Structure 1
Amino acid sequence: MNKILCIIALLLLNISLLSCSTANQEPVFQVTPSELFTGDSLKFKSFIENAGAVKVQYRGEKESIRLLAEVWVNGELKEIHPQMGGFLTKETKDGLRAWNGEAIISIDKSENDEGYSQYTTKSVFYEESGQVSYGYTFNADEVHTAFGDIPLHQEQSVSPEEGEVAIWGLQATNLKTLHTMDFSPEQLKLTDWAVIFKLAATEADALDGEQ
């Protein structure tokens, strides 16, 4: 009887290991909210008030993970900045490519030469082997009196080859109130001005000239 139980246990263990091995080889493009300021690092929060971060897990065929941004004005999508930076994926033993790290974005508000609101963005792609940072500036055609971030609240998964996934954003207004916001087009239609950052898988040539 004990011998039979041992054989059954071994069979179940092998099935479990096979299942885990298969799952680890499947394509995936997943982002998970990450808290920037915890523990001792909480003391730095007042120096970087508007910032967000996500953990990224990618396995697929594309050569890089890039950052793009959508600019919404009066509830309509006005501009897409498709090449704002990224990180090259690495080839794996099974022929796919992978990148596991964090994408971090921060924004500082100031005024441009016309006296309108200006938002200077810094994005960082970080993994164990190193990091790459990029800067970008967005100019609004008005003076904003209030602004606030649009965070990612829960884990999101999209197609590793075709999908784009929103990871963080900022909304601003020249009015006195801001709406509670998410990344859905229905909610973004309520914004006065907003910039939404997304990650997408792409080929390496999309990053040429950005660094």
Structure 2
Amino acid sequence: MDSAVLLDLLGNENRRRILRLLARKPCYVTEISEYLGVSPKAVIDHLQKLEEAGLVESHTDEQRRKYFHISRNLRLEVSVSPYGFGTKSAYPASASLDMDGQCRHVSLDAPGTADDEVDDLAEAFDRLQTLEDELSLAQRWVYGRITEVLDRLTDHLGVDADSRFHAEVLAAVATGARTTEEVAEAADASPNAVRGALNTLADRGLVGRMDGEWRLQ
């Protein structure tokens, strides 16, 4: 599902409270209604929206009581900075995904979970929780450094420039893109936009063109 739609959906406090409750255990409508302090009709409306989004599903027990539970794992990230706003949703990767060589800048020492022995599973859970905390800290560090770099780039370009886009163009040149078309492909932008950015960077003395190729100065 589109991350912007999810953000709108989860902007409602009662839907967030429903998900917190269902993360602990499956519940039926009356339980949720008592927990939230709202009418069963309102709960059903919230559950319907969560079901339509694929976040919640239901099953019926032997007494024909309908229980609702969270249907999938989902991570929703929101990034807000002076240089951009973005949302991103991601579902868990397949357990068969081989992470060796996939992360150039992070070393992952994650435990396997193939063994069903309780002590092994408990140890794996503890190590994965630690890894999750470390990755969260690393992500905060990266966001801070990105903002610091863009702040310094703004000092070179001026406050009217799109520092994030110019940084992407600079990074493309620094990593080997030489023509405007190559830079546009690396930065995933139109050649016209990239041409304007390169000219701005050249005016500031940050890049130069020699024999038809762009290079850092």
Give me the TM-score of the superposition, normalised by structure 1: 0.25
Which is helix-richer, 1 or 2?
A: 2
Larger Rg: 2
Greater RCO (CA < 8 Å, at least 6 residues apart)? 1
Which is strand-richer, 1 or 2?
A: 1
Give me the TM-score of the superposition, normalised by structure 2: 0.24
